[in-house]
């Protein structure tokens, strides 16, 4: 691997990347007779209020089979879109208006409403200025590319240029969609219920908790970066990334801590300023461990989330999310370390953990963009690790569309399919070491104790593992047995399918931070830390609100394939699952647990 550079990234030339043709935000309707017929069919069926957590990455029928729309084979989502939103809801979709595809359509800005306010926040207007004219995105020339540097290694010349760009953005009037205020509000609008799904007025667009997490934030950063470059008349400018996945970058980058800098934000946890090291598994309380132990724990977490828990497309990118859906589950990195870094950075003395600790305010901290640049970088890294690690090819993923204002204040319609390769957007990341690749976790004790542990369960099951009734409110640690559909598998079988623990029906209050940890075959009353094989992963929810309902329902999927190898438990008929609440105890419940195999 290349060593870290302390110089500015190389320059490149790029263009606006915008097509010259424009289209109206709301196309007129023509085939009213077809809509009328479909509307009559729709009226006989209720829309789903909540969708279950299920499916693998190839499942195109992920509606809850108990709801009326899904259970009637004559009614599909395209009919729902037509009946509720008219043909205008088909903007950006396939030409055939009766096809079965249902990608999330770009929001109708004319219907942008107040975001759902967090506690102690009276009103929350995150809507951008309205424009009825949209330009379609066109990839820029990429003869040369911008190189995003690690924030901890930039020099003084780069820092001065970056400060100047952010200062100019903050100086723009609020009416300018390129202003820092509106750029911060982009995240709020797409995360806190300001935009409704076209055709589904009772469902908001949510870019967390599904396969939209990575592409939405990539587009968001892309336009933010282009605006910065335009303001300083440098189209080659590239923003930095917070390199928290390597020891040298695990402190909050120094360029963000100067109180006289526009990169500074007063609403950060004062205990977590340098020289404190970031805790990528932050549980709301600072652990009393050495720096070396914290570094090792962080590296092990990165290995688990980037390698063990992301062998499949859905494991890394998250579950499918189509029109008419609620999000069905996050990918590995979105849960950890993305979520814990948000909470670790936010000011714990503020009512909502502002700024980074709550999605409605996270974009107000300039550090947000460095944090998500590293998340974006890891998407690139993941696709180099081999195996089945590749992007979704499902058209519902590829044709999902968003709206952003660009550096010229033009409203741009973009699709997921155009952002899968960052080089085609004109940027890459500076090469840095990835030490977590050599940080595979080790078992808590010698692996031969696991067989004896499971044998003792068979003898004392009633005493050690009383029957657990689901759903249950997780207000204390719980142990339960989960049966495995298959035992010992060949290497070929493991290469083709992952053994996945599915924690279903996670119902939680989105107003409060949530975190619970999951352990496998950990026999002690006090579960181990994240650096051991028994730790399978966590569910994390950064506070945010939805318009449809206060309680959200999703799932967590954890890959057990490598973990069971490390614990020498591949021949066992059951695994012992321990669920441990860490943050938000009592504010969430678990529907059920099962093990399934995912290709």
61 is an active site residue: no
342 is an active site residue: yes
- Burial pattern 371-386, b for ≥16 Cβ within 10 A else e, equals bbbbbbbbbebbeeee
CA 338, CA 359: separation in Å to the nearest integer?
Answer: 12
Taking every pair of Cα atoms in the chain, the longest distance, rounded to a whole number of angstroms, is 73
Q: Nearest to residue 104, comparing CAs of 419, 548, 401?
A: 401
Ligand-binding site membership of 45 (annotated): no
CA 236, CA 332: separation in Å to the nearest integer?
Answer: 32
Tokens (6 digits) for 368:
């947000």
Ligand-binding site membership of 338 (annotated): yes
359 is an active site residue: yes
DSSP label at residue 90: G
The packing angle between helices 213-231 and 367-382, to 10°, is: 130
Ligand-binding site membership of 30 (annotated): no
Ligand-binding site membership of 372 (annotated): yes
User: The tokens 């009276």 sit on which residue?
Assistant: 122
Q: Nearest to residue 379, comparing CAs of 410, 324, 439, 423?
A: 423
45 is an active site residue: no
Ligand-binding site membership of 187 (annotated): yes
338 is an active site residue: yes
CB 333 within 8 Å of CB 372 = no
CB 556 within 8 Å of CB 534 = no
544 is an active site residue: no
Q: Nearest to residue 327, comparing CAs of 464, 181, 190?
A: 190
Strands 411-415 and 133-137: parallel
Give me the catalytic one of 359, 508, 519, 588.
Answer: 359
DSSP secondary structure, 375-391, as one string = HHHHHHHHTTS-TT---
CB 242 within 8 Å of CB 367 = yes
Give me the catalytic one of 187, 272, 544, 546.
Answer: 187
Give me the catalytic one of 182, 342, 371, 544.
Answer: 342
Q: Nearest to residue 516, comparing CAs of 423, 578, 595?
A: 578
187 is an active site residue: yes
CB 268 within 8 Å of CB 364 = no
DSSP label at residue 150: B
Give me the catalytic one of 45, 152, 182, 208.
Answer: 208
Ligand-binding site membership of 208 (annotated): yes
Tokens (6 digits) for 79:
């009919």
CB 389 within 8 Å of CB 383 = yes
Give me the catalytic one of 45, 182, 217, 544.
Answer: 217
Q: Nearest to residue 383, comparing CAs of 307, 321, 495, 318?
A: 307
Give me the catalytic one of 152, 182, 272, 372.
Answer: 372
DSSP label at residue 5: P
Burial classification of residue 545, based on how many CB atoms lie within 10 Å of its CB (0-12 exposed, 13-18 middle, 19 or more buried): buried
Active-site residues: which are they?
187, 208, 217, 338, 342, 359, 372
- Which residues fall in the annotated binding site? 187, 208, 217, 338, 342, 372
- Which residues fall in the annotated binding site for Cu cation? 187, 208, 217, 338, 342, 372
């Amino acid at each position: 691997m290349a060593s870290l550079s302390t110089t500015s990234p190389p320059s490149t030339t790029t263009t606006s990347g915008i097509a010259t043709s424009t289209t109206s935000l709301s196309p007129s309707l023509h085939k009213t007779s077809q809509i009328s017929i479909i509307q009559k069919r729709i009226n006989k069926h209720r829309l789903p209020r909540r969708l279950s957590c299920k499916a693998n990455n190839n499942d195109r029928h992920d509606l809850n089979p108990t709801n009326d729309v899904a259970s009637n084979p004559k009614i599909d989502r395209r009919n729902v879109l037509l009946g509720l939103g008219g043909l205008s809801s088909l903007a950006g979709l396939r030409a055939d208006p009766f096809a079965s595809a249902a990608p999330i359509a770009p929001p109708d800005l004319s219907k942008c409403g107040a975001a759902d306010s967090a506690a102690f926040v009276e009103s929350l207007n995150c809507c951008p200025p309205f424009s009825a004219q949209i330009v379609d995105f066109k990839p820029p020339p990429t003869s040369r590319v911008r190189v995003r540097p690690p924030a901890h290694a930039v020099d003084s010349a780069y820092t001065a240029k970056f400060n100047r760009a952010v200062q100019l953005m903050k100086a723009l009037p609020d009416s300018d969609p390129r202003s820092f205020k509106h750029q911060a509000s982009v995240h709020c609008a797409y995360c806190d219920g300001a935009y409704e799904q076209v055709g589904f007025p009772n469902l908001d667009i949510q870019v967390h908790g599904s396969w939209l997490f990575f592409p939405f934030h990539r587009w968001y950063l892309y336009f933010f970066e282009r605006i910065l470059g335009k303001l300083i008349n440098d189209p080659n400018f590239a923003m930095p990334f917070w390199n928290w996945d390597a020891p040298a970058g695990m402190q909050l980058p120094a360029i963000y801590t100067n109180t006289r800098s526009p990169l500074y934000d007063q609403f950060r946890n004062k205990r977590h300023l340098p020289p404190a090291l970031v805790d990528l598994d932050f549980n709301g309380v600072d652990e009393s461990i050495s720096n070396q132990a914290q570094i090792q724990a962080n590296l092990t977490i990165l290995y688990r989330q980037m390698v063990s828990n992301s062998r499949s497309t859905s494991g890394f990118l998250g579950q499918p999310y189509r029109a008419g859906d609620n999000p069905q589950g996050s990918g590995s990195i979105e849960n950890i370390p993305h979520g814990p870094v948000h909470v670790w950075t936010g000011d714990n003395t503020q009512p909502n953990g502002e700024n980074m600790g709550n999605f409605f305010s996270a974009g107000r901290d300039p550090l947000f963009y460095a944090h998500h640049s590293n998340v974006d970088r890891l998407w690139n890294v993941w696709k180099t690790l081999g195996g089945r690690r590749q992007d979704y090819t499902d058209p519902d993923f590829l044709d999902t569309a968003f709206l952003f204002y660009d550096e010229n204040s033009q409203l741009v319609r973009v699709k997921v399919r155009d952002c899968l390769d960052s080089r085609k957007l004109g940027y890459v990341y500076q090469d840095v070491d990835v030490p977590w690749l050599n940080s595979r976790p080790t078992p808590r004790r010698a692996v031969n104790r696991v067989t004896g542990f499971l044998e003792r369960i068979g003898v004392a099951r009633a005493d050690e593992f009383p029957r657990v009734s689901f759903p249950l409110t997780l207000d204390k640690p719980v142990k339960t047995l989960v049966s495995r559909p298959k035992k010992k598998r060949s290497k070929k079988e493991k290469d083709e399918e992952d053994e996945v623990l599915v924690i279903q029906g996670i119902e939680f209050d989105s107003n409060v931070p949530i975190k619970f940890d999951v352990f496998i075959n950990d026999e002690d009353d006090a579960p181990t830390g994240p650096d051991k094989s028994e730790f399978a992963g966590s569910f994390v929810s950064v506070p945010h609100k939805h318009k449809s309902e206060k309680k959200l329902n999703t799932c967590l999927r954890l890959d057990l394939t490598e973990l069971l190898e490390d614990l020498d438990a591949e021949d066992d008929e059951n695994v012992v699952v321990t669920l441990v609440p860490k943050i938000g105890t009592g504010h969430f419940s678990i529907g059920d647990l099962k093990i399934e195999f995912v290709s």
